[in-house]
Amino acid sequence: MPYRRLTEDLGQRTLLSLAEVGELSLLGWAALAGIFSGKAKLKLTLDQVVKIGYESLPLALAASAFVGMVFAVQVATEFVKFGAGKYVGGIMSIAMARELGPALVGIVIAARVAASITAEIGTMEVTEQIEALQALGSNPVRYLVIPRLIACALMLPILTIAADVIGFLGGYLVGIYVVKINPNEYMETARSLMTMWDVWGGLIKTVIFGCLIAVIACYRGLKTRGGAKGVGAATTSSVVTSLVAIFIANYFLSIAFFK
pLDDT tens for 179-232 read: 888 888 888 888 888 889 999 999 999 999 999 999 999 988 888 887 778 888
In whole angstroms, what is the distance from residue 53 CA to residue 95 CA? 23
Provide the 10 A C-beta neighbour count for residue 188.
Answer: 14
- Per cent of the chain over pLDDT 90 is 26
Residue 8 included in any domain: no
Taking each helix axis from N to C terminus, what angle separates 146-177 and 101-109, rounded to the nearest 10 degrees? 130
pLDDT tens for 125-155 read: 888 888 887 777 778 888 888 999 999 999 9
Q: Taking a C-beta distance cutoff of 8 angstroms, is the pair 112, 235 a contact?
A: no
Residue 3 included in any domain: no
Residue 6 included in any domain: no
pLDDT tens for 68-84 read: 898 888 888 887 777 77
| pLDDT higher at 73 or 10 | 73
What pLDDT score was predicted for residue 152? 92
Smallest Cα–Cα separation from 92: which of 170, 160, 196?
170
In whole angstroms, what is the distance from residue 162 CA to residue 170 CA? 12
Domain count, the chain: 1
What pLDDT score was predicted for residue 3? 52
Tell me if residue 176 falls in helix, strand or coil.
Answer: helix
Would you place residue 17 in the very low, low, confident or very high pLDDT band (cuts 50, 70, 90)?
low
Residue 244 included in any domain: yes
pLDDT, averaged across the chain: 85
Residue 10 included in any domain: no
Categorise residue 103: left if φ over 0, alpha if ψ from -120 to 50, beta otherwise: alpha
Segments forming the whole domain that contains residue 221: 40-258
Residue 61 included in any domain: yes
Q: Taking a C-beta distance cutoff of 8 angstroms, is the pair 130, 222 a contact?
A: yes
